[in-house]
Amino acid sequence: MNIEEAVTAATAGSGTLLSCLGHPVVAYHVTAIMRESDKIHARQMQLALLRRSIEALVDDGFEDLEAEIFASQFDGRVDSAWDLLHMAGGTPH
């Protein structure tokens, strides 16, 4: 898996989030997370994106719980994609 494939995997099914935050914004942050080789720092970056995602979804009209669930699913895909990308030797391919 390469970074582009990881970003695509992480953002698949996230059309609502891509539209309210903007595709370039989401792609930029997810790409930065995928490039980060330190798991702890990558997770900190993910948590910041998770908070921003929840805020954007609520601002776009989602209920708090609904926004948290949607953003948590997205966060899980980002985490899984990061793990797959960094599985082999700890460096992105």
Delimit the domains of the chain by residue range.
3-86
- What interhelical angle do 64-86 and 23-35 show, nearest 10? 40
Q: Where are the beta strands (DSSP E) in 1-93?
A: none
Query: What is the per-residue pLDDT for 1?
Result: 85
Neighbour count for residue 91 (Cβ, 10 Å): 8
- Residue 93's pLDDT is 45
Query: d(Cα 66, Cα 48) in Å, to the nearest integer?
Result: 18
pLDDT along the chain (93 residues), means of 10: 91 88 92 96 97 95 96 95 82 48
The structure's pTM equals 0.88
CB contact at 8 A, 44 and 36: no
pLDDT the model gives residue 88: 60
Burial class for 30, CB neighbours closer than 10 Å (0-12, 13-18, 19+): buried
